[in-house]
Amino acid sequence: MEHQLNMSAAGIKAQIPQIRPHIQRRGRKVFFLVSRRPLLELSLEEIPLYDGIDGRRTLSELEEMHPGACNRIVRWREAALIELLPPIASPSGPHLVVIEPHMDDAALSVGGRLLHRWGRGRTTILSVVRWSNFTSYMNLKRSFLNVNEITDLRQKESALAARLLGAEHRCLDWSDAPIRFCPPERWSLATVESFNTYPQDFVLAPNRRDVSLLAEQLLQTLELLTPNELWIPMGLGDHADHAMTRNACLMMLAAARDRFSGVPIIMYEDVPHVVDAVGHAEQICATFAECGTCLVRDTEDVTDVFEDKLRAISVYASQFKLSYMEPKVRGVAEREGGAVGRFAEAYYRLQGNPCLPPASRLSRDCSGLTALHTSLRALLPEAARCRRVAVIALPSGHLGRWKVDRESLITAFPNADVHVRAPENIAWQAPEGGKNSLKLQFLHGGWGPWVGLLFRELFRFRTPTLVLWRGAYGSGRKRKHKRAINLLIKLLLPFRQVLFARTLNDFSFILDEELARSPIMRSASLDLAPRPDKLTTGVSSVRSTVRNHCGSDGPSHVRTHP
């Protein structure tokens, strides 16, 4: 097996140089995107050669036009300004389709295995997310947020990385989780600041409607691509786009069992998310096993192509520097390699009938979400009789996708007045006020308003209370501390049911699962005639097109930019 980066000198002459999409020439200087520090200064005679690199001419053609081109281009490749690509070929043979949530996941997770398949068949990398405003400038708090520009750049990087991996790149039309949560036109440097402080606040659980819509789109796309083998992400870690993609893939496979009956299905471990997701793969395997889907783990040694994999990953430079990502990728691969100096990638063969268990069972927050399920199940039969409900968000709480998720409160408690109180530090997530029976009020200034709130709530016995805060599930680091805080909150709010959720989005997610699980519950909550002043829209039918505030988006996949 020979791939382009290890070719002989003669082979290199047939290669096609291409300037990396994030490299820009301004005068004689060459820069990384909008950076001010040049990577290189070209001599006057080098400029025609640099401009002659058009992604079509081969190295030998450029050498003919510009004697000495080869040496310069090799130097520029070493400086990561250009890549050398093999001549375009249309390989025949079996068609492998790799589904990835974002443009980079396939290279990070299975780049080595793809390099091993170089030239043995056709490979397509299919990204779910197209639109994004994320670049590494976000971490530097620089205002470089143009969605169209960034999306175009990421697509070009992906096409280039795919060619280095011997694949073609395609993508669906979804938006990245942060701009599903907060539409691009609402982003400012203050939003960037919030994103840097709490990036997880921008990545919320997908709802079932989004998952089924994505499943439909994947099926339509795969009908056209007709894969002979399919690789899908395992959804390790906390990223909602990874969970959504995994769930949609499984929903599609379960629904179109006959169509994919002869197609080997592989689940790959999501790199680098696997680094922090200790025990998550085992949890996912056990959950699938309960519904009859067996995941058989295996690894493939990729030591011989590991440096080439890193090179392909480095092409995604608009998102991260290789110096940041390499230790994580190397660490995971070394762990799987099993011996010093060996690198491997882990994957799972899916055997038996594909199924999709309840999404909460696949989440890393499974135990906390199960507790929320239990509390909600106990409360729902009485919920229609509730006249008053309190929602208290603590400073680390989250109001979810407010305009959608608040509807879940109305669905759950159709005849209650819902009082939502939140601290001013999360006022950016939702607009204050409200109409009819659900009102959001922010508490401004110090402890005084909180003491007053607790005092008033103390005597509101039998008022179901939902408390939103980051430690709600009592898991992870400082779990004893978090559980003690939950206990204290319960003591401060006696004679009522107190529910804990990390975000209002989690509450909505669990309510949705609970209603889907139990038609009786659904009728108890949805079919009882609500008071005339109630909003009557059900949680899964809310697809508001009004997007005038962060956390207020409608359908997640819809393009929210020009």
Which residues bind to Zn ion, rule: CB under 5 A? Answer: 101-102, 105
Q: How far is the CB of 239 from Zn ion (least distance, A)?
A: 6
* Comparison of 63 and 105: residue with beta carbon closer to Zn ion: 105
**Cα–Cα distance between 529 and 120 in angstroms, integer?**
62
* Comparison of 102 and 209: residue with beta carbon closer to Zn ion: 102
Look at residue 390 and give its three-state secondary structure.
Answer: strand
Q: How far apart are the first and last CA of the chain?
A: 45
* Comparison of 102 and 311: residue with beta carbon closer to Zn ion: 102
Q: How far is the CB of 310 from Zn ion (least distance, A)?
A: 18
Q: How far is the CB of 276 from Zn ion (least distance, A)?
A: 14
Are 239 and 206 spatial neighbours (Cβ–Cβ below 8 Å)? no
Q: How far is the CB of 242 from Zn ion (least distance, A)?
A: 6
Are 466 and 499 spatial neighbours (Cβ–Cβ below 8 Å)? yes
Q: How far is the CB of 537 from Zn ion (least distance, A)?
A: 32
Question: The tokens of 322 are what?
Answer: 């290789």
Q: Which residue is nearest to Zn ion (CB)?
A: 102
* Comparison of 102 and 361: residue with beta carbon closer to Zn ion: 102
Q: How far is the CB of 129 from Zn ion (least distance, A)?
A: 8
**Cα–Cα distance between 437 and 453 in angstroms, integer?**
19
Q: How far is the CB of 100 from Zn ion (least distance, A)?
A: 7
Q: Which pairing describes strands 465-468 and 388-393: parallel, antiparallel, or unpaired?
A: parallel
DSSP classification of residue 523: I
* Comparison of 237 and 530: residue with beta carbon closer to Zn ion: 237
Strands (E), 223-365: 229-233, 265-268, 294-301, 344-351
Q: In the chain, helix, strand, coil percent, each to 5?
A: 45, 15, 40
* Comparison of 348 and 500: residue with beta carbon closer to Zn ion: 348
**Cα–Cα distance between 519 and 448 in angstroms, integer?**
44
* Comparison of 101 and 554: residue with beta carbon closer to Zn ion: 101
Q: Residue 171 phi/psi, 5° resolution? A: -150, 155
Q: How far is the CB of 218 from Zn ion (least distance, A)?
A: 16
CB atoms near residue 19 (< 10 Å): 19
- 560 burial via Cβ count (<10 Å: 0-12, 13-18, 19+): buried
* Comparison of 160 and 489: residue with beta carbon closer to Zn ion: 160
